Structures are given as C-alpha cells and as structure tokens.
Structure 1
Amino acid sequence: MIDLKKQLQDEIMEIIYPLGDKIELEAVGSDGFSLSYRANIPMLSASLIKLPILLYAYKNPNIQSEVLDQTIHLDDDQIVSGSGVLQVLSVREWTIRDLLALMISVSDNTATNLLMDFFGIHRLQKWIEDQGLTETSIERKMMDMDAQKEGRTNWISAHDANWMIQQIFSEDTPLPGEAKSWLLRQQFRDKLPGLFDEKARPILVYNKTGEMEQVDHDAAYFSCDNEHMAVTVLTSGCENRQDALFALQQIGQLIAQYLLDISESVG
C-alpha cells in the first residue's frame, strides 16, 4: 500500500532541494501530515505582512464589530503605488471593513497603509509579539522607500505565516465568512493554486500572496471535503522568477492531488 504522506513529503522535497536557501516551507494537514523546511528563518514579507493586520482586526478583543464599520477619509497624498485599486478610484470615504477587503482581495497597498495608521504600527507589532510570533516584524508602511533606505522593513517566516493562515480557520475562534471570502476570491491565483482549476475539482484554496523584486510568497489553506491543509511557501533570491513560480505551482498541485486522494480513500 502506498504511503501517501511519505510520497507527498518526498515529492515536495524534490522540488525544494534545488532552490536550497532560497525557499522555505511549512505544511500542516488535518490528517496529521506535517513538513517543515527552514520554516523559522525570517524573509522579507512583501504583502504577507497584511495577514497579521487582518487577524488583529478580528482577533483583538478590544476591537468590536462596530469599529469595522467606521468610515475614514483617504487624502490624495496617502495614495501609494504598487498593487491595489484605490490609486485609480475617485471614492475617498471607506469603512475599515472595506479597506480590509481591499487589502486582502486585491492586496491594496494604500488600504494597508490606512489600516496601519488606524490601528497603529506599534500596537500591531505588540499584538504580533503577544502571539509569540518572534519571526514577524512590521517596521514600515507599504511602498515607504525612505524607511527602506533607513533599513526598516517588514519580515515574516513560513512558520509564522502558516500559523496565521491556520488561525483564520481555527475551530475555537475562526474569522467570519466575509474575511474568508476575501482570501477565497482574492485576485492573485498564479502561485500555489496556479496549475489546477478549482472550479472543476472539489478543492477550495484560500490564499494570500506576496511579491517584490526576487521575492515570491504564498500562504494558503487548501480544503477538500472534510480534509484540509495549511501551507506556506516563501522564496527569495531567485534570479529567474520562473524557478520560484514553478516551485510554488508544483507544490500546490501536489497538495491538491494529495487531498483528493485521501478524501477518496476516506469516502
């Protein structure tokens, strides 16, 4: 009888080994599957730093639901470049809830900065530390080149990001359906779920990507029937971006097939 866990582990490691210290991974499955590779080493976070902001908004007991309905004003000088849509829209009044949706679903950098201002970077970082996430750090806002020149940047590890993804679906205090839908319907689907059609298969992928120069990340929650797996893959330093994307896509395809196989075996 084929040991599916061992087979998945071996196949993932075959993809990872050629990239050496340019990749890290953590995967935790509902069936007991577990795999970790360099998962506790912080890397530049790119847009994965948006995950702790999402969790802070919903998991912090000091933030009540009505806070998310507050409206804040966006000034022209607060608009930044990079991913997102606020830079091309004329609307200037947004609720915190809408900004959270934009931060996740289209990875909007301007929305993220508004949320950092609203919640406070120091309070966000304190909450991160209180969760025991020692490999995650928020030191600057998105697209803040002056801060970057000063050496301030944002960090995250595969372990911390994977913990965050699992917290979104925790049995005790999961995030509400609206927040999960932002991950399910987010617009960047070319990494872990990039090689398979989710609509044609009974697999849902809730994910958040991150990218910058020579950095490509994806943190995802794969769900198939009653089986699920949280997996985070971080890559940094790949001169040929296709090497990173290929690794992410191949790993995602392997996990999707694994969940289908174990779901069928249980059924």
Structure 2
Amino acid sequence: MAITDDIRALAERFSGTLGVWAQSLDTGETVEWNAEETFPAASTIKLPILYEVYKQAGEGRLDLAERLVLRAEDIVPGSGVLKDLTPGLALTVKDLATLMITVSDNTATNLLIDRVGREAVNDSMRELGLRGTHLDHKLFRAPEGAPPNRSTPADLGRLMRLIAARAVLTPAACGEMLDILGRQQYTEQITRRLPDYDGFVEPGREPAVRVASKSGAIRGTRNDVGLVEARGRRYVLALMTRGCRDLRFHPDNEASLLLADVSAALYRHFVTGS
C-alpha cells in the first residue's frame, strides 16, 4: 500500500518512534503503523476523560450544569488558563470539559478527574475494549517514578471513530463532544500541511476542512487524535510519538513536523486520491 510506504519513509527519518491508526469512515479502510504499541498519552488522555464525563452525565451520575469550585491547591502548571485565574471561581462541569479540550487546561482536567473518578475512566475504556489506555494519575500529580498516563494509536483512533460515528452513548452526547473537539485551538499538527485548510472562516462561510481533535505534548512526545472532514470524505486519525530527541516546545519541533507530514499523507490518501 502506497500510504504505508509513505509512513515508513517518514518514520525512518524520525529520531523517535511513530505510531499511526487511521480509518476512513466512508469505506472502513484502516491504516496502521505501530498502532498497538504503547505511547505516553500526554493530553490526548483528555479524550477518554471527556467520554467519561458525558457517559456519567447520560447515566444521571453528574449534571453538566453542576458547578465545581477552583481551589488554590487545585492549580497545576502547563497548558490552560485556570492557573492564571483567581481561586474561588465556580465553573460548570461542561465549562471545565470545554476548557480541558479547547485550551487543554490541565487544572480543569484534574477537577474533572476528581469528579468522575480515575478508575471510572479506566473501567469505561476497558468496557469499550480499549485496554491499552490507562489514566494512572492526575496531571502534574504523578508519584515519583510513576509511569506516564498512556494509550495506543489504535485505542485513541477507535474511540474517536466511535464518537464520530455516534456509536457510543447517545447521538446527542456524541454531537456535543464533537462540537467541543471541533473548537480545540491547537490543530496545527493535523492541519499544518493540508492544502485546503484555512485557519479562519468568516461567519456564514463553510470551511473546506473541518477538524475535531485533541492534541498532546510532553518532552519527547507529540500526539494528535481527530476527525477530518473534507470534500465529502470523513476519516479519523490517531498519531503518537515517543523518544523524540528534539525536546523543545516549539512549532518546529521534529515530532510536530512529523505528525504534520503524516497527516498530509493520510489526507492525500483518503481525500484527494493522490
């Protein structure tokens, strides 16, 4: 398969390890590269957490309008905005879920983990057959020597496929999750090399490419999982890396550029046929 040759060529030039799982929602064709291997999840672990929030909401175990209070001891570093706001702020569960995805807010994520339960997330992933996904600790709260939260490209891709196909929970819940994922602000890894993509679309104009996604980054790792819709075609992709020698948090990080190249190759394969 030509796409596998393209991915192999990109992977062989990379200083670390690449994993890929992608599937056309139109034909069911699947592309895999190290898809069952385990990688640090970084912020892509927030996709299973989002799923658990909506699962518990649908079961009546939490209310998306319920307010959780931000305490000083809840604040953690890294991405997001809550770390810069005043403790005592009360946000709804849905607002926290939105912050967790759209700006990858780590403090919002930890508040949601406290609310839904770490083991509940893991149990739900096992129920879906996604046994390579493990939320072992809250963000920036790992015990000394603990392994990172982890997943596989196949797990994340299959979870995104289930949501995109509205095949889990309810169609309405999947629609809400996709709406939040569609507003993520860090889409550059997936979209950077897509020829039809425009990062700004005026009101009333339909975008040529729609992306609903969740990215993740820690030193040595860049990940992305998403749904891409363009030219009447739909596909999901999950891209993961580990062991990258470029440790910079920089737009031109080696792993970020690799994911952009892999994303472009998948776009050509699934959308343009070139």
TM interval, shorter chain, is 0.7 to 0.9
Given candidates 120, 130, 133, the residue that maps to 2:130 is 133
C-alpha distance in 2, partners of 1:185/1:224? 17
* Structure 2, gaps ≥5 residues long: 200-206, 248-252
Answer 1 or 2: which has greater helix percent: 1
- 1:159 paired with 2:154, answer yes
Given candidates 66, 76, 92, the residue that maps to 1:80 is 76
In the alignment, what sits opposite 1:33? 29
- 1:248 paired with 2:248, answer no
- 1:210 paired with 2:221, answer no
Query: How many percent of aligned residue pairs carry the same amino acid?
Result: 27
The alpha carbon displacement at 1:226 in A equals 3.0
Task: Give the 3-state SS of the residue equivalent to 2:165 in structure 1.
Answer: coil
In the alignment, what sits opposite 1:234? 240
Moved more, 188-197 or 43-52: 188-197
Given candidates 14, 17, 20, the residue that maps to 2:12 is 17
Distance 1:214 1:85, change over 3 A: same
Moved more, 95-104 or 178-187: 178-187
C-alpha distance in 2, partners of 1:213/1:16? 18
Task: Give the 3-state SS of the residue equivalent to 1:231 in structure 2.
Answer: strand
Letter in structure 2 aligned against 1:47: S
Conservation of the 8 A alpha-carbon contact between 1:224 and 1:259: no
C-alpha distance in 1, partners of 2:156/2:242? 15
Q: Scaled by the length of structure 1, what TM-score is found?
A: 0.87
- 1:58 paired with 2:54, answer yes
- What is the aligned length? 256
C-alpha distance in 2, partners of 1:179/1:48? 14
C-alpha distance in 2, partners of 1:243/1:41? 20
C-alpha distance in 2, partners of 1:104/1:203? 19
Letter in structure 2 aligned against 1:229: Y
Alignment RMSD (CA, Å): 2.3
Q: Scaled by the length of structure 2, what TM-score is found?
A: 0.85
C-alpha distance in 2, partners of 1:199/1:256? 15
Q: Deviations over 1:51-99 (max 9, x none)?
A: 1111112234763397111111111111111000011123610000000
C-alpha distance in 2, partners of 1:162/1:98? 25
In the alignment, what sits opposite 2:177? 179
Q: Deviations over 1:26-71 (max 9, x none)?
A: 1111223311111111111111111111111223476339711111
Task: Give the 3-state SS of the residue equivalent to 1:230 in structure 2.
Answer: strand
Q: Deviations over 1:200-225 (max 9, x none)?
A: 86211111111101010011111124
C-alpha distance in 2, partners of 1:71/1:14? 49
In the alignment, what sits opposite 2:197? 198
The alpha carbon displacement at 1:20 in A equals 7.9
The alpha carbon displacement at 1:7 in A equals 3.4
* Structure 1, gaps ≥5 residues long: 1-5
Conservation of the 8 A alpha-carbon contact between 1:81 and 1:109: yes
Distance 1:255 1:99, change over 3 A: same
Conservation of the 8 A alpha-carbon contact between 1:101 and 1:179: no
C-alpha distance in 1, partners of 2:134/2:61? 26
Runs of 4+ residues over 4 Å off in structure 1? none
Given candidates 213, 219, 228, the residue that maps to 2:225 is 219
